Amino acid sequence: MRKNSERVQTYGNPIIKNIILEVITLMLKKARIIGTGSAVPQRILTNKELEDIVDTSDKWITRRTGIKERRICSKKLGESTTVLARQACLNAMEMAGVSPQSIDMIVIGTVTSDRMFPSTACMVQEALEIEDIPAFDVSAGCSGFIFALTVANNAIRCGTSKRILVAGVERLSSIVNWEDRGTCVLLADGAGAVVLDSTTEEEGILSTHIKSDGTAGKLLYSADGNPYTPEILQDILDKKPFHLKMDGHRLFKRAINCLTSIAKEAMEHNSLSSKDIALVVPHQANIRIIQGLAKNLRIPMEKIYTNIEKYGNTSSASIPIAMDEANRKGLIMSGGYALLVTFGAGLTWASAILKWSI
Ligand code: COA
């Protein structure tokens, strides 16, 4: 491959040559993942244990969702959104061989920050002792990680950042209604992170696609927050805590359709077919949704990474946790194409294609 300086050797004027070189470098600039990390709570909550909490069974949960167990934060152990996010970021930086001080931006996808503000990203920045860099959260439901990755990718491509921590982290156990068997058996806690670095090679994040449809927001929402809406006032009158609410049945088909369309859009954008994809890392909401996606894309399940049986649905953390596991198992070879694809509250849905280069 020709070097950028060789491409402009025909231009004699050194000033023009430098300008052209800078423009070409900016045009070629991409972001690539140089490290992945994850962290999950110690406490394992099994389907069997849930049988004592709500009217459900291990058989129903396994058959209808693919989940066998999930991780739940323990206050006693000091686990929180920030603690998990910090550990996932440290693990990603350790793999990348970089120090916290070399990071120039932190972007975190989450809907379960420990506080309404400051953001989880700012609390992680403090925990990692990184000074004077931008740190902020992105709220996009289960699509939070790919939305955050998109923001970070754009910051590197336009040259405003060089090395960014991107994470997805949730503590859904804090907003789940533990009396609602339709949701409490699905949702859980965890964190995943990546270190993004800039590159001018043909590798890394080739594209991201992100979409939202606010008109369907009522299919999955948390009544928490300001200002007080009529629904929240009704909750107060009914003396119910403010919990996550979901119309799972209506979301199911919508999830498969959105995941399929945005995965196809990503492949078409890069002139890739299903056969070119080495590994799909989908959001882990329900094994039947993932199987529906695989069928629509004509991709065998062996090429789709799943760990839903161990962790349930950890929202914006599910893709970076799965990606970290797949990476550490050596399932994504350097030079192979990975497809990330997700769907969540908002509604939101998103995809990314990476040419793996760790
Ligand atoms: N244990 C036992 N029975 C349960 C149950 C549980 N945990 N949860 C629901 N049921 C019951 C329902 O009450 C219903 O009973 P009924 O027929 O007597 O009314 C029956 O199971 C079927 O309910 P349904 O909602 O149709 O089940 P389902 O097969 O659609 O599975 C979900 C429910 C939530 C697992 C599934 O719809 C889903 O995964 N939806 C999408 C979730 C999603 O994508 N979320 C957003 C993105 S993160």
Spatial CA neighbour of 29 closest among 182, 196, 243: 196
Chain position carrying tokens 């998990």? 84
Exposed / middle / buried, residue 12 (Cβ in 10 Å: 0-12, 13-18, 19+): exposed
pTM for the model stands at 0.90
Name the residue of 67, 252, 319 to mutate for ligand 1: max ligand atoms within 8 A of Cβ: 252
In Å, how far from its chain's centre is CA 285? 12
DSSP percent split of the chain into helix, strand, coil, nearest 5: 45, 25, 35
Rounded to the nearest angstrom, the distance between the alpha carbon of 221 and the centre of ligand 1 is: 16
Chain position carrying tokens 């993004």? 196
Exposed / middle / buried, residue 242 (Cβ in 10 Å: 0-12, 13-18, 19+): middle
CATH of the domain at 158: 3.40.47.10
| Ligand 1 atom nearest 255 alpha carbon | 44
Q: Is the peptide bond before 77 cis (omega within 30 degrees of 0)?
A: no
Whether 124 is in a domain gets the answer: yes
Spatial CA neighbour of 211 closest among 347, 331, 94, 328: 347
> What's the structural domain count of the chain?
1
Using one digit for the tens of pLDDT, what is the confidence trace for 20-46?
877 777 677 899 999 999 999 999 999
Exposed / middle / buried, residue 15 (Cβ in 10 Å: 0-12, 13-18, 19+): exposed
| Ligand 1 atom nearest 183 alpha carbon | 34
Whether 23 is in a domain gets the answer: no
pLDDT along the chain (358 residues), means of 10: 52 79 77 97 96 96 98 93 97 98 98 92 97 97 98 95 97 89 95 96 94 93 64 61 82 96 98 96 98 97 97 98 97 93 97 94
- Which are the contacts of 82, defined by CB distance < 8 A and separation ≥ 6? 114, 120, 123, 124, 127
Whether 10 is in a domain gets the answer: no
pLDDT recorded at residue 232:
60
- Which are the contacts of 339, defined by CB distance < 8 A and separation ≥ 6? 263, 266, 267, 277, 279, 280, 281, 351, 352, 353
Is the CB of 208 inside a 6 Å radius of any atom of ligand 1?
no
Using one digit for the tens of pLDDT, what is the confidence trace for 129-180?
999 999 999 999 999 999 999 999 999 999 999 999 999 999 999 888 888 8
pLDDT recorded at residue 68:
98
Whether 289 is in a domain gets the answer: yes
Whether 225 is in a domain gets the answer: yes
**3-class secondary-structure state, position 139:** coil
Catalytic residue numbers, as ranges:
142, 283, 313
Whether 12 is in a domain gets the answer: no
Whether 4 is in a domain gets the answer: no
Query: Where in the sequence is the domain holding 88, given as residue range(s)?
Result: 32-358
pLDDT recorded at residue 243:
77
CA gap 38, 26 in Å, rounded: 31
